[in-house]
Amino acid sequence: MSGQSAAGRYQVPVDAHLILLREGTEGQQVLLSRRAGEVYASGMWHLPSGHLDGPHEDVIDGGWRELLEETGVRTERANVRAGVTVHHRAPAGRARIGMFLVVGLWQGEPEITEPALCDGMDWFGWEALPEPMVAYCRAGLDAYRAGACLAIHFQQPGDPIAYDPAVDRLQLIPNALAPGDAALPEEAVRVFAEEAVGRIAHWTDASWPREESQVWRATGARGGTWYVKRHQNDRFHGREVAALRHWVPALGARAPRLVATDGAHRTVVLTELAGRPLHGQTLSAEVERDVHRQVGELAARYHQAAPASPAPPPGPGKLQRHLDTARPLLAAGDEDLALALAARRDALPPAPWVPTLGDLQPRNILLEPAGDGSLRAGLIDFERSELGPAVRDFVRLSDTWLGRADLITAFFTGYGRPLTSDEQERLRCEAALDAVSGIAYGHTHHDPELLERGLRTFRALRTHTFL
């Protein structure tokens, strides 16, 4: 067993800091006092605080005592709540443990009771904290506001004692996950995201259950929300970054914006787009029609985000490989239908290639309530974006159009034109190929929703009810 004797063990002081809170006319306020006299950080603002006097005193008793000594107010143990613990090291190299305690109820009015050590005391709003403030104190307040349980604030030699945002040493240690919670992003992703948008207080897993790409909702320590996405491979990362830079701006405020990208970790930081996915929502027929009209408008904007280009010669496809997996699940005649439509697609006149979303479906359509009671549609997820025939973007959305001619009319009204006869035929061909792929993927990845969507498409193609 390694270690030192009890006499030689490393020891640090323990401080108790009292965060007194009250509601002011413009929101919550915190009590601060200004240090004075022959003390450390004289002239700087700080919380009522002090170190424990010895082993006879627990942190609540010590904080209770310091509060009475410095402000004259009294409180009960039951009114003290845990705020945050900060492991601090001063510029001179001395370290200590700070226990920041929150007090919401007390008796008496705070006043200066030690005039030799304090020459100012007042209430301040969170957005109007005074200067100069002791950096250690500011670290504790920032960590508390961020909801952290533990933080490290190790200052370097030469750092100022007063808080300076240019040398902010605060590190928030992620809170432990509750049983069953999803994992946080790895440290390199967290560091990259914080370099892009500032300190992040909360991470929430927002990944779609069947995707290998990971998405987190990141809430800033001082407000603001972003989405951090880590792609499953370099191909998807490159596609989404290129789309966000060149094509997504055509959607304006109806899509997120790219904040930062890290190719080494296949990660992007995106602005938040408000709304809930169309997937799973129950809407009136009138609202549905308006939503599909808006989506048609957005699809047209995207397809026109770059000039159309000639289609390249057809290359080898993956149909046969997908058929080998999907064959046991296909109905009689489905394989022949898929092969016939694949041949028909290659015989059609080449369609110009335009920017396509690649995965236009209800889960990637967000609906945000507008002020007039309507819903405003926006689009997310561009990792499958690439140049291709425009009709590819109608394949997955067409599953929601089965038996709903009114939604088809609404979408193409928004799109600005109906499909040509060649485009209608190409859409049938693309739908068959997508169905085979979906059935194969759904079977091997135990995704019954995706598998059933593919089988529905084949039923519609067989019975001539597809569009």
**pLDDT the model gives residue 210:** 60
Tokens 């027929």 identify what position? Answer: 285
pLDDT at 78: 86
pLDDT at 3: 52
Query: Per-block average pLDDT, block size 10, for the chain (467 residues)?
Result: 61 94 91 94 96 91 92 91 96 96 93 94 95 97 92 96 94 76 80 93 82 87 92 96 98 98 96 94 94 98 97 82 91 92 91 96 95 91 96 94 94 97 94 91 86 90 85
* Domain 11-173: CATH architecture, name and number where available: Alpha-Beta Complex (3.90)
User: Does the predicted model carry a pTM greater than 0.85?
Assistant: no
Q: Which residues make Cβ contacts (< 8 Å) with residue 88, sequence separation at least 6?
A: 95, 96, 97, 98, 136, 139, 153, 154, 155
Sheet of 200-205, strands arranged across = 200-205, 214-220, 225-230, 267-271, 258-262
Domain spans in the chain, listed from the N-terminal domain onward: 11-173, 187-271, 277-462
Query: In this structure, are residues 351 and 307 in contact, taking their beta carbons and an 8 Å threshold?
Result: no
286 token code pair = 């009138």
CB 230 within 8 A of CB 189: yes
Tokens (6 digits) for 366: 């967000």
Residue 29: which H helix or E strand, with range? strand 27-35
* pLDDT at site 1: 44
The Cα–Cα gap between 123 and 314 comes to 71
Pairing relationship of beta strands 150-154 and 80-89 according to DSSP bridges? parallel
What kind of architecture, by CATH, is found in domain 277-462?
A: Alpha-Beta Complex (3.90)
Token code pair at residue 193: 């995201």
* CA 339/CA 436 separation, integer angstroms: 10
Indicate the CATH number for domain 187-271.
Answer: 3.30.200.20
| Whether the Cβ atoms of residue 196 and residue 269 lie closer than 8 Å to each other | yes
Closest to 172 in 3D by CA, of 242, 241, 222: 222
CB 342 within 8 A of CB 319: yes
Residue 66 identity? E
